[in-house]
Amino acid sequence: MSDRANIRDVAALAGVAVKTVSRVLNNHPYVTDATRARVEAAMAQLQFEPSVAARILAGTKSGQIALIYDNHSPYYMNQIQTGCWQRCQQEGVRLLAQPVDVDDPAIAEQIRQLIRQTHVDGIVLSSPVTDCRPVLSMLESLNVPFVRISPGTDHALTGSVYMDDLQAADDMTTHLINLGHRRIGFVKGHPNHMASRDRLSGYGRALGRAGIALDPQLVEDGTFDFDSGLAAGRALLALPRRPTAIFASNDDMAVGVQAAAHEAGIAMPDQLSVAGFDGTTLSRMVWPPLTTIAQPMIELAATATGILLAGQGLVHKRLDHRLIERASTAPPPGTL
């Protein structure tokens, strides 16, 4: 019988309306203790487990939210998804993870259709979707609750969770300067991500404070993936006066830089220091292990999900970063 039990069976056994069962399922405040006890006893007797479909048919919450993302780093997204999923599991909510392309002109309509088809109760946006104006306007028009992870614009628009990318990049650049490096290469992040701008600014700020002019030849474009890091590393290491250190805007690109150094027979960290950003699991798996900025990705995602599920509205939380020093960085050659 438990395989066939549905919300109407529970209502019949408890002697209440289907709507009353729905209210109990959704912890509605306007249900008496006696009625709630009858409904819960009926559910236990029928071994009833509410399905998402049943809640939709009953006109109540779907019990699921969506994570919308467009990110080229599988290591980063794995941790973002893990944070969202862990919080959803605690709250008994399902998570739908939907990749999109922010350059697609139809992105807003694609997400609109997702909402219509799934009836999700809210959305977590990950960068760079966090700053995609067509998506933000569409969600506002539908009055769908959403929270953003690391937005770079319109901070007062919605609840958000973030870290200080500018200061983090400043910290890493300062670390390299303190080791004695003066020619420090930099690999920019994807132009669609507002964090890319902040990380470049932090690099430039630290150089300026140390009296080091920012040399445009030492700055290469990247797109947050291994291949762009490899290309940037090759270009920087081919310079007549190559840098003694290279700071890449994420770990995937930093590993690409390391691959370029291995390819060129350049020893790390004796001849070249390499640093990354994010603190993904990848940073521990390469040789030498990467010095990196540890971004609390799982906590960022879990906190954003918690704000959404609690309906807290315009809550903004900044989480701390930390610099992890590993074997990929050392003083420049000839300084020991």
Same domain as 154, residue 303: yes
- Domain residues for the domain of 39 are 7-57
Taking each helix axis as running N to C, give the angle between helix 18-25 and helix 33-46, from 0 to 180 degrees, rounded to the nearest 10.
Answer: 90
| 105 falls within a domain | yes
In this structure, what CATH number is given to the domain that contains residue 48?
1.10.260.40
Using CA atoms, how far apart are residues 187 and 86, in angstroms rounded to an integer? 33
Structure tokens at 152: 């770079």
Same domain as 112, residue 204: no
CB proximity list for 321: less than 8 A, separation 6 or greater: 163, 164, 167, 168, 171, 293, 294, 295, 296
CB proximity list for 98: less than 8 A, separation 6 or greater: 66, 67, 68, 69, 111, 114
3-class DSSP state of 18: helix
Cα 46 to chain center, whole Å?
A: 40
Measure Cα distances from 1 to 7, 37, 195 in Å.
Answer: 13, 21, 54
**Alpha carbon distance, N-terminus to C-terminus of the chain:** 77
In this structure, what CATH number is given to the domain that contains residue 312?
3.40.50.2300
Same domain as 107, residue 95: yes
pLDDT per position in the chain (336 positions), as tens? 335 577 788 889 999 988 788 778 766 777 898 999 999 899 889 887 665 444 444 455 678 999 999 987 888 999 999 999 999 988 888 999 999 999 999 999 999 999 988 889 999 999 999 999 999 999 998 888 999 999 988 777 889 999 999 999 999 999 999 999 999 999 999 998 999 999 999 999 999 999 999 999 999 999 999 999 999 999 999 999 999 999 999 999 999 999 999 999 999 999 999 999 999 999 999 999 999 999 999 999 999 999 998 887 788 999 999 999 999 999 999 765
Structure tokens at 42: 């009926």
